[in-house]
Structure 1
């Protein structure tokens, strides 16, 4: 069959191109084979990415074993932990588009026949999935694997423990030595941070979607299994090419429903409410926030991992990983969906349910005895969020599931953090942080610094937080994000004033601003859109093009 690489390397007219390929060290035999692009987000800036060069070499070995020629290239990868709490976080979500664009452009320009997509961390994995959908070349995604949990004084710790430790230090509960000891113990080596945060949630969804190999989500970054998965991923990409199995054959509406159910059962990161719809948009599959809401009401919560509980990804792996979760969910899944690691997603399911226990609790509960009859993510709506907003319900204390209080309004995250540090915020209040949406932020910054101060300090369980921005997958508590439409677009968030009562009801999926409609209309006449925070560069272009969080924050025209 004709391959995309033929237009680069075949025929007398392509002698100049072959000359360039020979400069790379390729010979006639290499050029006679399919060319498999290996997209790699390796760098020495991000712990989740620092080992990906090794995985890329192993994946290349797998490609060669299967009879094709590997060609590696790199794309960017931003660490949300390093970017957190300062202007750098504006770059995080927009980087998803840069990753997708760079993979698309490299594959298009060089005529690759198939792809191995190697990535870790929050925006890079969905960016590569988006590119895979656009290109629709046979592809396999290989995630870098989770970091092992740290240990301090006999307790497991992770990066979120350190963020919350800052609050304990600020409140006088901890001294400098205690915080320093935690800092040194929490992140023991390579991999994506060890809880069910955004990076590991997305890795689990790659497996549930069927575009990663079975077991790929939970094997630790430094484990021998991760190396085996890398080689196998290279072979699988060539096998998909031979079968002409493409991403759009795999990423159907039913596949997104399967992935969403796994997400809800695991109590995954609310960032998936941005990423799954964005990937589905590129896959031409209809899947959005309304589906999260519908499925959440019918999908039980089965596993309580950090930040909702003490368990980490390594415990999920020991319990059988995503395959065991899918086995528990089997009656709710469409197991006929195609998968790159087998004939169908049925081949990914564990052979039997797992009763594995760790830290005195069952890691994966059953449909008959779930942690909760509804999923770990809830979609709320009401007059404050006509198009919806999201909360990680699995990580909200029971006493906070129904809550109302006066608003304390801030126009940016920095002002809210300063108010917390100045002890201005009172128990019983609803903290409102606006103009942090996709366009207004711009970039829809995560607010882990703020949520960690609340969760780790004296206001834990005593205040709620509502924003048109978003939260780290490591956030917990009554933190409601993605309020849509956003304030910068004239959404109701822009009309809230200090003292307005906001009522939350997670069980009934409601969020209400208790202000008369006539008063809101009066305020709207006086509202003026704030000045842009950036006046040139990539973020200006992003703010002009990005759509609503309710639709996945995809760029207009995509």
Structure 2
């Protein structure tokens, strides 16, 4: 069965001769007009290691689709490098790019009447952007992750992208020389693939494998390996199968499968960006997922993975021990994963895992449930007068559970970074970076620079950092982000003054500004929101449509 439900509207419609003429021009023969057409979208571009190899993957997938009796049409959408834009004004475009990606894929697939879709993401926002488009379209779809990078190596140590950020802090305190600093930069990223730790890209890729929208091993197969090539060679079979059986994203991405995804991400010690993207995916799927539900899962799932940024290992080490399926199987066996969720293989999660080997704990990469790294999760959903609608903290336990300190307030990331580099931040300070939320940033930029500078300067256990912006998956330390309401919308974070006492309690999950209600009321009288930082272009349009962080920053509400 061809299952050309949508493409037939062009190929067999006698009133559309021009459309058919154009299809002949692409190289199609008359017999191809009876075949299903599959869009193959990648976020390929040359300027970023996470994405620079995706055109090779798309070529391999197109060949696989052809061999399985379908027509494949490649097209591109944008990608933005978080690592390259981090700490610059360009980072404001990172989260908004997720919406552009989803919008552009929806536009192409609906315009050209493709019957199915294969999405090939690389960097962080590519992944949820593609999935959101798949859910909007709800046509048979599979995600093929571009894969992570291999580790770099210098001076007897493995390196990754965060090594480069932290090296600057180490150089500034005289821990390493200028030559060592430059050599770390040169050797941190040896080739293609997304950043290698359990940062945002690998967190989201792992989530989507647990969710069932990728085939097994997609998230842990490295970019530049035979495993990734084999996945591409086989993908034509899988897309043909779900086309024939009309298995669609909304059959796969359900409330239950999203809970599986969150469970795996917490067990792996994943990025706090999980929260904002999972909320957006759930809303796109018309599922009523709340922050408190993420909080409840987090409270009942232990951290098992000794992975960077808080641990020692990378995705390449997960691959070497048998891949993400081994970990999912362990969580399924122990009752943490629901096994009856449908996947893009046409089988359930449980069925997919039947022939997967049992996990071994000898490498100390993954710890058993009886001896977890932490008894409950690290992604803390916290509330308080600073964040009445919620905030997100990443507390692994290594930082401590309670921090009380004096506010040092900055209205931009750059001013905070300068203060850290100039050694104006002292033990006991709580750095407050505000007006960097979805509207205030705009774009809620990630801030790996300040957290990396803090780590490099050996201040990670001595200070805290709070913000209405976001943190990179590579961030670690006593940090709280996603504070809502944001400063631009009049949130209490806008009223904090230098020297105010702030208490962060990761046991009670609270964040409190220690001033009286009377003082808050007095300060509000004089609060005037600054003008938006942009007044034209895409970011200006984004400020007019973006929802709050607790709604996933979607723009179609």
Normalising by the smaller structure, the TM-score range is: over 0.9
Query: Shift of residue 505 of structure 1?
Result: 1.2
**Is residue 184 of structure 2 the alignment partner of residue 179 of structure 1?**
no
* Cα distance between partner residues in 1 of 2:180 and 2:81: 25
For the Cα contact (< 8 Å) 2:99–2:129, is it kept in 1?
yes
Point out where structure 2 has 5 or more consecutive residues left out of the alignment.
none
* Cα distance between partner residues in 2 of 1:377 and 1:188: 30
Partner of 2:167 in structure 1? 165
Deviant stretches of 4+, over 4 Å: none
* Cα distance between partner residues in 1 of 2:5 and 2:55: 27
Q: Could you report, residue by residue, the CA deviation over 1:302-348 in whole angstroms, capped at 9, with x for unpaired residues?
A: 10201011111011112222212212211111110100024111134
**Partner secondary structure for residue 386 of structure 1:** coil
**Partner secondary structure for residue 117 of structure 2:** strand
* Cα distance between partner residues in 1 of 2:63 and 2:351: 25
**Partner secondary structure for residue 470 of structure 2:** coil
Query: Shift of residue 356 of structure 1?
Result: 4.3
**Partner secondary structure for residue 94 of structure 2:** helix
* Cα distance between partner residues in 1 of 2:280 and 2:235: 24
**Partner secondary structure for residue 297 of structure 1:** helix
Alignment of 1:104-503 (within 5 A): 104-330=106-332, 331-349=335-353, 351-358=356-363, 362-394=364-396, 397-398=398-399, 400-503=400-503
Query: Shift of residue 11 of structure 1?
Result: 2.9
For the Cα contact (< 8 Å) 2:242–2:345, is it kept in 1?
no
Q: Could you report, residue by residue, the CA deviation over 1:480-539 in whole angstroms, capped at 9, with x for unpaired residues?
A: 110111111111111111111110111221111111111101111110011111110000
Q: Normalising by the residue count of structure 1, what TM-score does the alignment of the two structures yield?
A: 0.97
Q: Could you report, residue by residue, the CA deviation over 1:254-277 in whole angstroms, capped at 9, with x for unpaired residues?
A: 000000000100010000110011
Query: Shift of residue 2 of structure 1?
Result: 6.2
- The structure 1 residue matched to 2:73, chosen from 60, 71, 74, is 71
* Cα distance between partner residues in 2 of 1:302 and 1:22: 54
* Cα distance between partner residues in 2 of 1:288 and 1:233: 34
Point out where structure 1 has 5 or more consecutive residues left out of the alignment.
none
For the Cα contact (< 8 Å) 2:8–2:34, is it kept in 1?
no
* Cα distance between partner residues in 1 of 2:374 and 2:121: 32
* Cα distance between partner residues in 2 of 1:554 and 1:87: 21
* Greater shift in the superposed pair: 193-202 or 147-156: 147-156
For the Cα contact (< 8 Å) 2:268–2:307, is it kept in 1?
yes
Q: Normalising by the residue count of structure 2, what TM-score does the alignment of the two structures yield?
A: 0.97
**Partner secondary structure for residue 390 of structure 2:** strand
For the Cα contact (< 8 Å) 1:66–1:239, is it kept in 2?
no
* Cα distance between partner residues in 2 of 1:424 and 1:344: 55
Q: Could you report, residue by residue, the CA deviation over 1:55-92 in whole angstroms, capped at 9, with x for unpaired residues?
A: 10111112112211000100000000111111101110
For the Cα contact (< 8 Å) 2:242–2:346, is it kept in 1?
no
For the Cα contact (< 8 Å) 1:342–1:348, is it kept in 2?
no
Q: Could you report, residue by residue, the CA deviation over 1:143-187 in whole angstroms, capped at 9, with x for unpaired residues?
A: 100100111222211010110001111122211110111111111
Partner of 2:26 in structure 1? 24
* Cα distance between partner residues in 2 of 1:232 and 1:269: 30
Query: Shift of residue 251 of structure 1?
Result: 0.4
Aligned residues: 552
